[in-house]
Amino acid sequence: MMCCASCGIAEDDNKKLKTCTAWKSVRYCSVTCQKEHRPQHKRACKKRAAELHGELLFKQPESNHVGDCPICLLPQPIDSEKSIMMSCCSKVICEGCDYANQMRQQEGKLEQTCPFCRHPLPDTDADHNRNRMKRIEANDPAAICMMGFIRFDEGDYQGAFDYWTKAAELDNSADAHYQLYNLYDEGKGVEKDTNKAVYHLEHAAIGGHPLARYNLGIIEKDKGRLERAIKHWIIAAKLGDDESVEALKLCFREGRISKDVFAEALRAHQAAVDATKSPQRDEAEADEQNMEAEKAAGEN
């Protein structure tokens, strides 16, 4: 690492060596040396790059791609309907903190403001859009990714592709990578491309996206590589993904995994789910269920 892999010159204050981007253990003093060494280095480099990618791909993420609520600091639920993105600051707030903030403001007859940045809440959809565009102009990856969802819902797949591509480039957004996978997989807004679809699916999985993990497992299973599929499902289960637990349950019944491995995955799954719970979130969910029940009763 301290000498050029081609000519052997040592690094000093006057000569800085550049590391091979694929194989981090090899360095060169110049482009010329890198080209001259390529015939010897190419095969080993390709092999090592694949090994490094495999190590990264099957590393257990510390949390899911949503991360923690910036207010209560508890892990966000995987279900996107249990949180809300504020258009003023692009922060994703859990429904518990949003509900608690609403109750506090109603009881105190206070102005309705964002629970994070305290900016007054927009009155109309147009105000929300203006806030988002301000965040997009500031190159906020979360706002850019959200605009991709809006364009997709409008049927503007090319616009969605452009926004998600930018979000992926700016912040390596797992959400953006997952949506790009869907576009390439279905051929919406872009030409259908399996290789690019898998590329984005793997980046989403590395970023902690449980559904991306589950889908990678399905792809590996369909290719007859069940061992790799099980690895993906275990990682996703430990992030709280229910579908991966069901896939592992089937593997256990068929004798593909041991009782100990299955039990460990179940315990980790339950721990991930329990970590997302709080009294405020329970209250918010109960209130929502009551409102839905009242609405159903009124319709009947």
Class level of CATH domain 124-208: mainly alpha
Q: Tokens at residue 23, please?
A: 């194989």
Residue 87 pLDDT greater than 90, yes or no: yes
Distance, CA of 117 to CA of 225 (rounded, Å): 48
13-17, 100-104, 291-295, range with the lowest pLDDT: 13-17
Domain ranges of the chain: 1-48, 64-121, 124-208, 209-273
Mean pLDDT, the chain, integer:
91
Please state the pTM of the whole predicted model: 0.82
For 119-132, what is each residue's pLDDT tens digit? 999 889 899 999 99
Residue 243 pLDDT greater than 90, yes or no: yes
Q: Are 76 and 92 in contact (CB under 8 A)?
A: yes
Instruction: Name which residue leads in pLDDT, 54 or 213.
Output: 213
Distance, CA of 264 to CA of 287 (rounded, Å): 34
Residue 13 pLDDT greater than 70, yes or no: no
For 142-160, what is each residue's pLDDT tens digit? 999 999 999 999 999 999 9
Q: Are 131 and 122 in contact (CB under 8 A)?
A: yes
State the pLDDT at residue 34. 82
State the pLDDT at residue 49. 67
Confidence of residue 198 (pLDDT cuts 50, 70, 90): very high
Confidence of residue 11 (pLDDT cuts 50, 70, 90): confident
For 89-116, what is each residue's pLDDT tens digit? 999 999 999 999 999 999 999 999 999 9
Q: Are 56 and 235 in contact (CB under 8 A)?
A: no
19-23, 137-141, 160-164, range with the lowest pLDDT: 19-23
For 21-59, what is each residue's pLDDT tens digit? 666 668 888 888 888 887 777 777 677 667 777 888 999
Mean pLDDT of the 64-74 span: 95
What is 64-121's CATH number?
Answer: 3.30.40.10
